[in-house]
Structure 1
């Protein structure tokens, strides 16, 4: 073999090992940066799109009679059956509903939702009891008296996995007051830490939804600001007559890893559940349905322009050319359209598709999107 050929092989060998070294260095840098962890984090699904994220804790508070439990039951049934909630996609999965305030009312709420939606929430497990969340025993152990099993809640979650073949997607705790030792910062922090450990060990990927009360004046949650600081989503539910609103505006809440959502408006209805009480009277239960009314003028205009369906590009052109918006700057008109479409989607009035006949997407609509009535 000639020296020239030997030299070319040596050059290839040197180039090979240089490439290997560069690859190894890049791999180590990616590990230092935890890029793979970051990709895994952002690819984790939301159990309720833009509202309750997987492995997260959502905190909903309201006054007595504000239909907090009715809202929570609607969310629970939607996740258990895979049905949209107020126009938002859900990740279907089993649900554990901890009814710490007891009573048959929570069972009636489930039956009312099933009657209103003509569906059975078979993968919704209702546990009536008031466990001390911060003191839950997550794993089995031993003490001076012998073996000590994990708590009833953990056993329920294992049972869900055993029966359905899937971990729970949502754990509802109704209410915080009945499952905690206090409202001080250390109480809230201990409660949050135990919930996150419960999810990590017994229901990976699940979300926790905690129902809480307001102060007497009804403007904020009871107790420590750790409820706002430590949780992934916080929102207030309020009710006036039959109108119910879930809001994080006005300093009443927050959300991590998503854009703040506008008020979610619902209406309360009483639905017969097909059963009769001891006196022969039909039993009714409350449900919340998405409210398509109470639209602003701009939302009504956007809905009118969408008509039977329109591309986002055509909608944008019609919107900017409409005489009712002539006095607004271009930037203001653009923001107003985005907010109007978002609100219509949250109210379940509009769907955004990738293109005509395409699959529904989660965004507000881009140049290639197509909008149609829901």
Structure 2
């Protein structure tokens, strides 16, 4: 059977190439389709969206995960000034030259369900792509509510049409990733507004929640940690294994200038609550590697780790519910004896 040039069907002889899911952010943000990030108010939704957007725009890894670089358009329905501050804070924190980053933030909201409005916006997006002199990697819609116009978030028909317009008018036209920032409903336990309509039409759905801290952590911090620590979870992803949850905390970043009252202007950025080494231990533990093998794997010429140190790190993750509880009396064969020195 010869290869077809049919634009409507893909034939069996075209299935033979080995294919795997492609990501804009490794394991987290698929390149294809439209993804949705949701959380209640004041859960750092826009901070995370900015973090993802700027990592994509600059091509630097996001919290250790590789990214595919591309220009970014951030269509904001509100808080334009606050977003500009967050972009500046991110650039300073990550030591990036702000004016060299290929990102633009809209001055107004968009009404996705109005065809005439969308057609007008596409002209401006075309202009932005031309100015960037590079393809778009990501379009962020923040938030769904401010971009829906007269549509009803709780209507399955309106929600399906909203996501379909993003797929057919934006994703397909620019071959880019689309991320929608969204709110939960009044009952947070039921997830995002629109519920099943979103999961049925989105490529990937993420939830941000507050982190429950241990008593020791609460005593060690002057400020309530739950006010600034979040957990990002993948609630739904099509045709791929969802990534494991990750915890992030907000830290203050000075912007390098003062306001008219003489006070330093600041914003927030998100960083990992765990070190890169701790996250590596988490990854290797989930891959069923023994404590001894983990210690050997992460040790190097300047730092040697012991099985006891690995266990402490694992216990930390178990307390937070990121690892299954350790079953009493269960030990792998190579951990039955007392700790042995790691030979590099």
TM-score calculated relative to the size of structure 1: 0.66
Question: What does residue 62 of structure 2 align with?
Answer: 85
Residues 39, 194 of structure 1: CA spacing in aligned structure 2 closer, same or farther, 3 A cutoff?
A: farther
Contact kept in structure 1, 2:21 and 2:240, CA below 8 Å: no
Aligned match for 1:327, one of 330, 333, 343: 330
1:161 aligns with 2:129: yes
Contact kept in structure 2, 1:80 and 1:95, CA below 8 Å: yes
Distance 1:97 1:247 in 2: 22
Distance 1:136 1:85 in 2: 35
Map 1:6-17 to 2 at 5 A.
none
Cα-to-partner distance string for 1:182-240 (whole Å, 9 max, x where unaligned)? 11101111011100112345312x11110111122322111341111110100101232
Residues 244, 136 of structure 1: CA spacing in aligned structure 2 closer, same or farther, 3 A cutoff?
A: farther
Distance 1:119 1:27 in 2: 46
Map 1:215-230 to 2 at 5 A.
215-219=185-189, 220-230=191-201
Aligned match for 1:259, one of 241, 248, 252: 241
Distance 1:34 1:286 in 2: 51
Give the Å deviation of 1:304.
Answer: 3.2
Contact kept in structure 1, 2:254 and 2:265, CA below 8 Å: yes
Distance 2:70 2:87 in 1: 16
TM-score calculated relative to the size of structure 2: 0.72
Contact kept in structure 1, 2:22 and 2:32, CA below 8 Å: no
Question: What does residue 159 of structure 2 align with?
Answer: 188
Aligned match for 1:247, one of 212, 233, 241: 233
Give the Å deviation of 1:27.
Answer: 4.9
1:131 aligns with 2:110: yes
1:151 aligns with 2:133: no
Map 1:63-102 to 2 at 5 A.
63-102=40-79
RMSD: 3.2
Question: What does residue 145 of structure 2 align with?
Answer: 177
Residues 305, 241 of structure 1: CA spacing in aligned structure 2 closer, same or farther, 3 A cutoff?
A: farther
Distance 2:79 2:173 in 1: 24
Distance 1:165 1:101 in 2: 27
Cα-to-partner distance string for 1:333-357 (whole Å, 9 max, x where unaligned)? 9xxxxxxxxxxxxxxxxxxxxxxxx
Distance 1:32 1:128 in 2: 41
1:237 aligns with 2:216: no
Contact kept in structure 1, 2:183 and 2:193, CA below 8 Å: yes
Distance 2:43 2:195 in 1: 21
Question: What does residue 307 of structure 1 align with?
Answer: 298
Aligned match for 2:25, one of 35, 43, 48: 48
Cα-to-partner distance string for 1:262-283 (whole Å, 9 max, x where unaligned)? 1021111010011221212111
Contact kept in structure 2, 1:79 and 1:90, CA below 8 Å: yes
Contact kept in structure 2, 1:158 and 1:202, CA below 8 Å: no
Give the Å deviation of 1:305.
Answer: 3.5
| Higher Rg | 1
Aligned match for 2:90, one of 99, 113, 116: 113
| Aligned-partner SS, 1:169 | strand
Give the Å deviation of 1:48.
Answer: 1.1
Distance 1:175 1:32 in 2: 35
| Aligned-partner SS, 2:139 | strand
Residues 286, 136 of structure 1: CA spacing in aligned structure 2 closer, same or farther, 3 A cutoff?
A: farther
Distance 1:110 1:303 in 2: 37
Contact kept in structure 2, 1:157 and 1:202, CA below 8 Å: no
Question: What does residue 338 of structure 2 align with?
Answer: none
Question: What does residue 350 of structure 1 align with?
Answer: none
In the comparison of the two structures, how many residue pairs are matched?
Answer: 278
Contact kept in structure 2, 1:271 and 1:284, CA below 8 Å: yes
Distance 1:177 1:34 in 2: 41
Contact kept in structure 1, 2:47 and 2:269, CA below 8 Å: yes
